[in-house]
Amino acid sequence: MNFVEINNISKSYGSHKALLETSFSVKKGELFGVIGPDGAGKTTLFRILTTLLLADSGSARISEYDIFKDYKKIRQIVGYMPGRFSLYQDLTVEENLAFFATIFGTTIKENYELIKDIYVQIEPFKDRQAGKLSGGMKQKLALSCALIHKPEILILDEPTTGVDAVSRKEFWDLLRKFKNMGITIIVSTPYMDEASLCDRVSLMQEGKIMQINTPDNIINNYKPILFEIHSNNMHDLLIKLRKYHNNSNVFLFGQTVHYSSINEINKDDLKMYLKNNGHANVEINVCTPTIEDCFLWLMNQNN
Amino acid sequence: MDKEKAITVKNLVKKFGNFIANDNLTFDVYKGEIFGFLGANGAGKTTTLKILCGLSKPTSGQINVAGFNVYTETNKIKNNIGYMSQKFSLYEDLTVYENIRFYGGIYGLKLKDIRKRADELIQKLGLTNVRNELLSSIPLGWKQKLAFSVAIFHHPKIVFLDEPTGGVDPVTRREFWDMIYDAASEGITIIVTTHYMDEAEYCNRVCIMVDGRIEAIDTPAQLIKTYNAANMNDVFIQLARKAKQQ
Amino acid sequence: MKKFIGFVKKEYYHIIRDPRTLFVLIAMPIAQILLFGYVITNEIKNASIGILDHSNDEITKQISSKILSSGYFKLDASINSEQEIHEAFRKGKIKEVIVFEPHFSEKLKKEGTAKIQIIADASDPNIANLLTNYTEAIIRNYSNSITTQNTQISLITPEVRMLYNSELKGAYLFVPGIIAMLLMLISALMTSISITREKELGTMEVLLASPLNPFTVIAGKVTPYLMLSFIDACLILLTGYFVFNVPVNGSIILLLAECLLFIFMALSLGILISTATKSQQAAMLISLVALMLPTILLSGFIFPVENMPLILQYLCKIMPPKYFINIVRTIMLKGGNLSTLWSDTLILAGMSIFFILVSVRKYKIRLE
């Protein structure tokens, strides 16, 4: 049975439609990613799930509880980490943790086993005020606070935004661990590369879900032909490639340009074209798409 | 090669009490270069950026920005640079046009010039329909592009971008980088910080800071080669990990 | 209950981790009362008065010189007729006129009593009251001294007339007023700010998503500030008593209980404000403009309610500080007890219950 079930949830703020008939389900013990840029509707969706907002229409449940009728029950079983850092900056690490334990009617001691793995990392700073922690540490503390009452499900809104690459990796390692302990996790992120760390992801854009699948299947579903092109003058390469064919997309990807098209493109023709336009030393290779390629393609299809 | 230098930094040290935020930094940035600043939270990027913008005085070192001394000529520096950050950039309760006019005014441009250039800019960004809309009502991606355009509106020699693309969708993010390339090709020097490691690879050179020191400074391709890594993300993680173990 | 204690503990940390605010909260009451107190006593030292002596004999001259040598008064102009009194007041040069009736010493000798009229400009009631009190005291003193000398019963009856504000009541008006003002400020402002701060920082989102019920949150927010405000009330009373000799004639326990009631009322107002605002700035502005100004202007603290236009008098009736100031004045200065104050107390209690019910109802269990 699905642990979380969302049916046709919609939400508008005035004339702005934040969520459009969103539906998906999450299995028990799954690590589910909601991936999309700002304004995709991730935060709205999470606030509805955590009973902080009422949906305009549609229904949802977590475990056997309805998010509208049984909101008190849901607040007991959900561990929620909002998008902004939302702990008390003037309280120490330990005081924050103790406070969140008490408001859920438990103690640090009672659930220490659960948070042990994170807590040993932040323990050296336990007398430091939360406002003075580094970004990565803050997020770990916030995660501990969300976990302290032994929730059945974690709902984490962009926990890795603004955090450096190393701390991000450590954070995902922790999420993996909690998933293995049987906790269901729904996590959102604007970083496309983090999709591969989830069991399943939903790609969102402007209030709509473009696709839900495992990261591998999303990549397998990618239809266009995709080249990876490198040249000495990347800026000019972009300009020239954009003029080459109508039904194509040209995007920078690290040190290369990803050139995709639904039409058949002959690699040698393309090479010749670029050579004639002042790019003698170009390398063109067929490449496997990343989640970001898929996202870009889906966005293009939706427009 | 004798390239014109936009920024020279020699033995920059910045201390806050006992804490050394910048530990003896030395580097140059060339004119028209896209120079990336990478580092973990708290590695000292922001401190360096503030010193280069003339917002904060270094403890010691010789620093020259756009030909001006950071100790004595901060006002001249401010006239010759542009700044944009993810957090603060434009006024949400002003319209698109009013924002442009306001920033033009700050840098002492003539109203006639402002009008003309604002119209050009609005057209170029495709914002004609929302010219008189409040900024709060337009999508984030457009705002970020507008914020960048405003930061280079007065034709500064150098523009500082502090995590300019956080949370922006992948298409807009790339359009944004197109604009950065355009600006660089016009001779504007770009200093940018980011947490997206693929963006680090768009830079001409990057400088990776760890615990207040410069751990590596080179072209992305060379760094990837040196550290035998698959991409910049690996390079970054290797360097930052090393620092943690020490 | 554990949740509540945990919450109060957290609030306590917030308060002590912000020593600057805490200092202001403790030092402000004392600073305010010293300021008000000294501004008023200073003026009395050099008050200009006029003397209209219809009799101009031995005794009136003696009394005049006693008054003028007391150090509180200085003679501004000699006044020769009743008409000149009003003129002098209108020019604003003098604050008090002392009138001796004709044949003063003759009457005193024959009838054993004579009259002195003290006319004060009560457009500033505090000062007028203090001046007349001083004058009366000096005259009574003199009267006593001649009584003992001559062993015959003689009385000089000073008759006080307040001009422009005839219904003046009680001295030391400022102490009850300051108590009301500061309790309102600290209680309402601080609670509304501390709740809106949680909204601004996003911590409210986590609290809402937790099983905490609204009542625990509100009670947890109120308790620390209730204690802090109560300490302030005591500080004001102590400063008033030791520095300015403001007495507490009635029951001190009743007075403190009424203070608690008023604090509770102000706290519930603060919570009500915070349910309607999203930012600390807005909460502060509303607290200052919507609470402080009425507390100062529409409560009888500075301007007597009786002299206001009818509309404002009705408006005063819905201002909680009006009742509180009245209660405090009655207890401190007149020694009144609950049997005379039950209606005011009941009104205050009713207002508190009303505000707390509205704010619990308005407290949102979700984000807007």
Residue B91 domain-assigned? yes
Q: Using the beta-carbon criterion (under 8 Å), do A80 and C365 form an inter-chain contact?
A: no
Distance CA C112, CA C114 (A): 7
pLDDT at C167 over 50: no
Rounded CA gap, C81 and B58, in Å?
79
**Looking at the partner chain, which of C206, C207, C367 has a beta carbon nearest the beta carbon of A53?**
C367
For chain C, where are the alpha helices, taking DSSP H only? 2-16, 19-45, 58-68, 82-91, 104-111, 125-150, 174-184, 190-201, 203-208, 214-244, 252-276, 280-286, 293-297, 310-317, 320-329, 338-362
Q: Please judge whether A37 and B202 are an interchain contact, meaning their C-beta atoms are less than 8 angstroms apart.
A: no
SS (H, E, C) chain B: CCCCEEEEEEEEEEEECCEEEEEEEEEEEECCCEEEEEECCCCCHHHHHHHHCCCCCCCEEEEEECCEECCCCHHHHHHHEEEEECCCCCCCCCEHHHHHHHHHHHCCCCHHHHHHHHHHHHHHCCCHHHCCCEHHHCCHHHHHHHHHHHHCCCCCCEEEEECCCCCCCHHHHHHHHHHHHHHHHCCCEEEEECCCHHHHCCCCEEEEEECCEEEEEECHHHHHHHCCCCCHHHHHHHHHHHHHHC
**A contact residues 19-48, partner C, Cβ 8 Å cutoff:** 47
B95 occurs within a structural domain: yes
Rounded Cα distance between B231 and B236, Å, is: 9
- Domain span at residue B113? 33-46+78-245
Task: Flag whether pLDDT at A79 surpasses 80.
Answer: yes
Distance CA B67, CA B77 (A): 8
- CA–CA distance, B229 with C45 (Å, rounded to integer): 87
Is residue C45 within 8 Å of C94, Cβ to Cβ? no
Nearest to A255 among B43, B221, B241 (CB): B221
Residue in the block written with tokens 């403001």: C246
Task: Look at residue B27 and tell me if it is in a domain.
Answer: no
Residue B118 to chain A, least CA–CA distance (Å): 25
B180, B198, B227: best to mutate for the A interface, most A CBs within 10 A? B198
| Lookup result for tokens 């999450």 | A26
Check residue A286 and give its pLDDT. Answer: 92
Predicted local confidence at residue C161, as pLDDT? 57
- Residue A273 near residue A214 (C-beta atoms within 8 A): no
Lowest mean pLDDT among A4-8, A143-147, B105-109: B105-109
Q: What homologous superfamily does CATH list for C47-150?
A: abc type-2 transporter like domain (3.40.1710.10)
Is residue C154 pLDDT above 50, yes or no?
A: no
* Within-domain flag for B66: no
Task: Establish, for the pair of chains A and C, how many residue pairs have beta carbons separated by less than 8 Å.
Answer: 80
The per-residue pLDDT of chain A, averaged, comes to 91
A286-300 CB burial, b ≥16 within 10 A, e <16 = ebebbbbbbbbbbbe
Express as a percent the part of chain C with pLDDT over 70.
Answer: 89
List the beta bridge partners of residue B7. Answer: B29, B65
The least confident of B241-245, C177-181, C212-216 is B241-245
- B58 domain-assigned: no
Prediction ipTM score: 0.84
Nearest C-alpha neighbor of B144 from the set B168, B174, B171 = B168
Torsion on CA atoms B191, B196, B199, B204, rounded to nearest 10? 50
Q: How confident is the model at residue C105 (pLDDT cuts 50, 70, 90)?
A: confident
Under the banding of pLDDT at 50, 70 and 90, the label for residue C366 is confident
pLDDT one digit per residue (tens) for chain B, 246 residues = 457 899 999 999 999 888 888 999 999 999 999 999 998 877 888 889 989 998 889 999 999 999 999 999 988 998 899 998 876 578 888 999 999 999 888 888 888 999 999 999 999 888 888 899 888 888 888 888 899 999 999 899 999 998 888 778 888 888 899 899 989 989 999 999 988 888 888 899 999 998 889 999 999 989 999 999 988 888 988 888 776 555
pLDDT at residue number C162 = 52
Q: In what order do the strands lie in the sheet with A57-62?
A: A16-27, A2-13, A57-62, A65-66
Report d(CA B139, CA B223) in Å as an integer.
36
Residue B160 lies in a domain: yes
Contact A163 B198 (CB under 8 A): no
Helical H segments across C245-279, by residue range: 252-276
DSSP class of residue C319 equals -
For residues A12 and A188, what is the distance between their CA atoms, to the nearest angstrom?
Answer: 20
Q: How far is A42 from chain C (nearest CA, A)?
A: 16
B223 inside domain: yes
Report the pLDDT value the prediction gives residue B226, as an integer from 0 to 100.
Answer: 93
Q: What is the CATH number of the domain that holds B126?
A: 3.40.50.300
Interchain CB distance below 8 Å, C211 and A90 = no
Ranges of beta strands (E only) in chain A are 2-13, 16-27, 31-35, 57-62, 65-66, 78-81, 153-156, 184-189, 200-205, 208-213, 225-230, 248-253, 256-261, 283-286
**Which tens digits make up the pLDDT trace of A194-234?**
999 999 999 999 899 999 999 999 999 999 999 999 888 88
Given CA atoms A45, A49, A52, A57 in this order, what sign does their dihedral have? positive
- Residue C252 clears pLDDT 60, i.e. is over it: yes
Report the domain count for chain B: 1
Spatial distance between the Cα atoms of C129 and B80, rounded to a whole number of angstroms:
68
**B 116-175 residues with CB below 8 A of A?**
139-141, 163, 166-172, 174
Say yes or no to pLDDT of C40 above 70: no
* Disruptive mutation site among A16, A34, A38 for chain B (greatest number of B CBs within 10 Å): A38
User: Is position B89 within any domain?
Assistant: yes
Confidence of residue C164 (pLDDT cuts 50, 70, 90): very low
Q: What is the pLDDT of residue C44?
A: 63
Residues A179, A144 contacting (CB under 8 angstroms)? no
Q: Give the pLDDT mean for A60-72.
A: 93
Touching pair C, B by Cβ (3+ pairs < 8 Å) = no
Q: Answer whether C365's CB lies under 8 Å from C213's CB.
A: no
Nearest CA-CA distance, residue B140 and chain A, Å: 7
> Measured in whole angstroms, how far is the alpha carbon of residue C355 from the centre of its chain?
24
Domain ranges of chain C: 19-40+171-367, 47-150
C92 SS3 class: coil
- What's the average model confidence in pLDDT over C7-34? 88
d(CA B190, CA B195): 16
Enumerate the residues of chain C whose CB falls inside 8 A of the CB of residue A102. Answer: 2-3, 5-7
Please state the φ and ψ torsions of residue A263, each to the nearest 5 degrees.
-80, 160
Per-residue pLDDT band at C85 (split at 50, 70, 90): confident
Q: What is the pLDDT of residue A242?
A: 87
pLDDT score for C202 = 86
Residues of A in contact with C220 (CB under 8 A): none
> Which residue is associated with the tokens 């950065």?
B180
In total, chain A counts a number of residues equal to 303
Structure confidence at residue A143 (pLDDT): 94
Residue found under tokens 């003896």: B24
Span C334-365, pLDDT tens digits: 777 888 888 999 999 999 999 988 888 888 88
B88 against A67, higher pLDDT:
A67
pLDDT of residue C136: 80
- Cβ-Cβ contacts under 8 Å between A and B: the total is 92
Please indicate, yes or no, whether the overall pTM of this predicted structure exceeds 0.90: no
